[in-house]
A and B are shown apart, each in its own frame.
Chain A
Amino acid sequence: MKYNFVDNKNRKLMTGAEVCVQAAFDAEAKMMYGYPITPATEVFTGWIKRGGAYLQTEDEIAAGFAICGAILAGQKAFSATSGPGHILMQDAMSMAEGMRLPFVLIVGQRGGPSSGTVIYSQQEVILSCFGGNGEGLRLVYSPSSLKELYQLTRQAFNDAWQYRFPAIVLTDGYMLKTRGVVSLEELKIENIPPHQLVPEDKVTHWQNIYTFEDDLYYEINSAKEDFHKIADEIAKAEKYLTADAEILLVAHGIVGAVAKEAVQELRKVGIKAGMFRPITLRPFPKKELDKVCGWESVKKVVVIESALGQLARIVRDQLAPEIDVSFEYLQKPGLGIEVEEIVKFVNK
């Protein structure tokens, strides 16, 4: 047997949680507020073990508002949570959206509704993108590998502090708990430094509640415009063999990585498959999706996810209405999806 051996220089065995912790340290985050919940606990304990400053609050609501407070004082603070904890965290996340606070949250999706399973799902997509009483003006990144998890966690801190929107790194139990091989040495990423949002030397009145409807309306519109201005720069997708694709697989996160392998398998049996993987779910890479789906060659879009249509809802919403393409769905709420299943589904 002949193998492609890899040089182990700069390669490390790390879990997803360890990758997140490394990224948070490298991003020069200074404080973590949180409450342990599987499968995100090891981000918290890993941070603590490595000497990161932290506070374990009584619940995720308190952790979330503590982050808002720390950020107002100019501190790079963050948290990691999952499932029911994520629901509670959305209270403060909504405030961060309203006040334009660079709130960074790592989410490890577990099964739902409610306590569901402690294991895995892709069921926190809508919650991440549109949780809270607001308009979904936040940044949501969905990594598909440990390396991308590192890159996007760094980017989440940078974009949040540069553009002043809350940011979620949307991962899942499998990704956080998996130990794999990563090389982070060659990734050189500059940090956007934090800055104090409230001056110390004078009294500032900074609202998060408005007396008149028009005031709130003005604020939301101004945030919306800012969000649209940066959307093209931040929105990203991975496209794989889309140029002549007749069947386009759309998947995000770890399922995106599986879909990519499925494309390779389908090509081997003569099926012209391609893959579109949104790397950001908010803002969504709408222009790229329109472009790919608008090609004549594309006959069918298959949206694949470990949820009952959360990604599908976003994809259909974002796709330009004049693009006429048929949809099919492979949906396994709370369950992993393997390459063979996708191949079988497409090649039926």
Chain B
Amino acid sequence: MTYKILLSGDGGQGIQLVSDMLAQAAFANGFNISQIPNYGLEQRGGVSLSFLVISDQEIAYPRFTKPDILLIMSEQARIRTEKNKNGNLILDVQDYNKKLEENNIFVKSYNIFFLGRLTKILEEKGVLKKEDVFNLLEKKLSTKMNWEENKKTWELAIRN
């Protein structure tokens, strides 16, 4: 069993944080992981990608073009990942805009929302435990600004 997850957004949206939390939680649950960011010349203002593989087998190679799950958090990212769409599960921010606005979710917390969504999906598959992800998140962000907002966002994403 191998899950290939491609996370994409604008630099600064917190894509690498989402990837990091999922990777650590899956690893803590006994899986192999491999994780590689894009590290081209475009980091500031450009598209931020993270290639994450979670598997119960040895992982030979960190990159892929056909992810099982694709996260798109921005317009630029949508264009950049055009070639990666192939009947996979796609979480696209444009499909969630209404929900996010209705619930007054801070734009800065969007990554936490999608972290929650991905956690939910992966927990249903038995890949990780949501408590692990939340604990990692709390450790990382609870002393930083907007923790209450982030926590509220996380709860919304996990709940429904």
Contact = CB atoms under 8 A, between A and B. Distances in A.
A298 interface: no
Interface in B82-115: none
A203 interface: no
Interface string B1-22: 1000000000000000000000
Interface residues of A, number: 32
B39 A118 contact: yes
B76 interface: no
Main secondary structure of the interface of B (DSSP, over half): loop
Contacts, number: 84
Given A1-B1, A8-B27, A174 B36 contact: yes
A197 interface: no
Main secondary structure of the interface of A (DSSP, over half): loop
Given A3-B31, A8-B30, A261 B39 contact: no
Contacts of A113: none
Given A3-B126, A5-B30, A7-B30, A174 B24 contact: no
Interface in B12-70: 23-24, 27-41, 56-66
A11 B58 CA distance: 13
A13 B66 CA distance: 24
Interface of A: 1, 3-8, 11, 13, 38-39, 117-119, 144-145, 173-174, 177-181, 254, 257-258, 260-261, 336, 338-340
20 contacts: A1-B125, A3-B31, A3-B56, A3-B126, A6-B30, A6-B31, A8-B28, A13-B24, A117-B40, A118-B40, A178-B62, A179-B34, A179-B36, A180-B33, A181-B32, A261-B60, A338-B63, A339-B60, A339-B61, A340-B66
Given A1-B126, A5-B31, A178-B34, 12 more contacts: A1-B1, A3-B126, A4-B57, A5-B29, A13-B23, A39-B39, A117-B40, A119-B39, A144-B60, A174-B62, A178-B36, A179-B34
